[in-house]
Amino acid sequence: MRELQRHQAQEPKPFHICRYHHERYDGSGYPLGLAGDTIPFEARLAEICDVYEAMTTVRPYKNGWTQAEAVDMMLRSGGHFDPGLLSKFISKMVLSGVLA
């Protein structure tokens, strides 16, 4: 973490993903409680991908959810995600045939 903090002044895009992907669009996340567009774009997008992947992947301790179950839960998650990015993520999945 100190190495990342040393480079914080520059804040390259990968740093945004590492540092801010647990922020929530409604401000209820961590580490800083950022909200809305104050969360870097890369982190808002990575959060959607990270949660979707975690829900749909089989793990030793859980079965993976179906794509429809994961999308439904994400849509019902309140202020967790950037609503515009989530909509685009889901639309792209439907248009590409990944989600029918």
Domain ranges across the chain: 2-95
Q: Is residue 26 helix, strand or coil?
A: coil
What is d(CA 51, CA 75) in angstroms, rounded to the nearest whole number?
A: 12
CATH topology (fold) of 2-95: Hypothetical protein af1432 (1.10.3210)
Query: Among residues 13, 18, 83, 2, which one has the least CA distance to residue 48?
Result: 83
Burial status of residue 56 (CB atoms within 10 A of its CB: 0-12, 13-18, 19 or more)? middle
* pTM reported for the whole predicted model: 0.82
pLDDT in tens, 56-99: 999 999 999 999 999 999 999 999 999 999 999 999 887 777 76
